[in-house]
Amino acid sequence: MQLYGSTLSPFVRKTQAVLLEKGLTAELKQVMPGGADPDFRALSPLGKIPAFRDGDFGISDSSAIIAYLEAKHPEPNLIPAAPAARAQVVWFEEFADSALSGCVGKVFRNRVVMPKFMGRPGNLEEADTCEAEEMPRYFAYLEGVLPASGYLVEDRLTLADLAVASPFVNFAHAGVTVDAGAYPKLAGFLERILGRPSFAGTIAAEKAMLGG
């Protein structure tokens, strides 16, 4: 199996976490968004990362890749069968992919990607406004819905936890911390989920790539 992209993308990191939780290994083919690699472009018509190949089969989009992995390698189960729980997992993944990753686009892109990889300053005002006005709403929402078990759905690890935790790695790279005083359940959740082997090695490699 091959996974195309960079784990600095929350979508690629989420997919990598699913692979590792299932005990699977995919060769990581380093591709930047919009990359010209012809194999990647054949798999990803929109040029977005991640793309994925398993033998003769290939597809792009993290949710599509994860649907494939879950069907082909059902254990451990990460997408519940029960209707309400399954819908909740779909919701939390959508919340992460749209709301939280929208903030990644504003905060991580402007503070890290633009100066480090594009050689020009980002829009720091956009980043600051997102951190001050948008992100607290999302943090408060998660603080309110996190159950005492510390897992978002079915009181056990599911795709919801992996999807929601992934963009927080980008927030940390961009200097955003989750105040454990204001958001104790969210801070504890992130410490546990991002400390799992399915994230920890990836995060260490990213930190090294970003210079510590």
Ligand X SMILES: N[C@@H](CCC(=O)N[C@@H](CS)C(=O)NCC(=O)O)C(=O)O
Contact residues toward ligand X (CB under 6 A) are 9, 11, 33-34, 47-50, 61-63, 97
**Quick one: 66 or 178, whose CB is closer to ligand X?**
66
Phi-psi region of 154 (alpha: psi -120 to 50; beta: other; left: phi over 0): left
Alpha helices in the chain (DSSP H): 10-21, 38-43, 62-72, 83-95, 101-108, 124-129, 135-145, 159-173, 184-194, 197-209
Sheet of 2-5, strands arranged across: 27-30, 2-5, 51-54, 57-60
Residue 144 beta carbon to ligand X: minimum distance, rounded to whole angstroms = 25
**CB 87, min distance to ligand X, A:** 18
Q: Which is nearer to ligand X, 166 or 187 (CB)?
A: 166
- Is residue 5 helix, strand or coil? strand
Residue 151 CB, nearest approach to ligand X (Å): 22
Nearer to ligand X, 34 or 147 (CB): 34
Of 34 and 74, nearer to ligand X (C-beta) is 34
Minimum distance of ligand X from residue 10's CB (angstroms): 6
